[in-house]
Amino acid sequence: MVRTELREHIFKMLFQIEFNTLEEMPKHLELYFEELTSAKEKDKEYIQKKLEAVIEKLEEIDAILNEKATGWKTSRMNKVDLAILRLAVYEIKWDDDVPVKVAINEAVELAKKFSGEEGPAFVNGVLAKIAD
C-alpha cells in the first residue's frame, strides 16, 4: 500500500475513537484488519504503530487544535474533520518522515473525500496556522 492509502486507514480508525473507548480500540483494530485483506503485515504494523502514536499524543494534539482553531474547540468540531486534523497535527509536529506540506495536502485530500463542503477549507486553514 502507498502512504496515502495507509493514512486513510489510520484516519478511519481515529474516527472510531469518537464512538468507542480507548480500551475498545485494540479489538476494533483487530476486526478492521480482518476485513482489510489487501494489507500486508508491514502495512498493518504501520497503521497500528501510527494510530497508537497519535492516540498517545491526543491530549497535546487537542490542546494545539483548541489553541489554533479560532472560534472552534475540538468538542464542537465535525468528527470527520477532527480525526483528519488529529492525524495531520501528529504528522506535522512529531513525524519526521512526513514533510509539513505533504501532511497538509494529504489532510485536505482526506477532507475532500470524507468531509462536507467546507471541510477542506477548514482543515487547510487550521493546519496553516499550526504549520506557521
> How is the chain split into domains, by residue range?
1-129
* Tens of pLDDT, residues 13-58: 999 999 988 889 889 899 999 999 888 999 999 999 999 999 999 9
Q: Is the pLDDT of residue 122 over 90?
A: yes
The pLDDT mean for the chain works out to 94
Q: What is the pLDDT of residue 22?
A: 84
Which cell goes with 77?
A: 468540531
| Residues 6 or more apart whose Cβ sits within 8 Å of residue 38 | 1
Q: What is the pLDDT of residue 119?
A: 95
Least confident span in 19-33, 81-95, 117-131: 19-33
How far is the C-alpha of 50 from the C-alpha of 93, rounded, in Å?
Answer: 13
CATH class of 1-129: mainly alpha
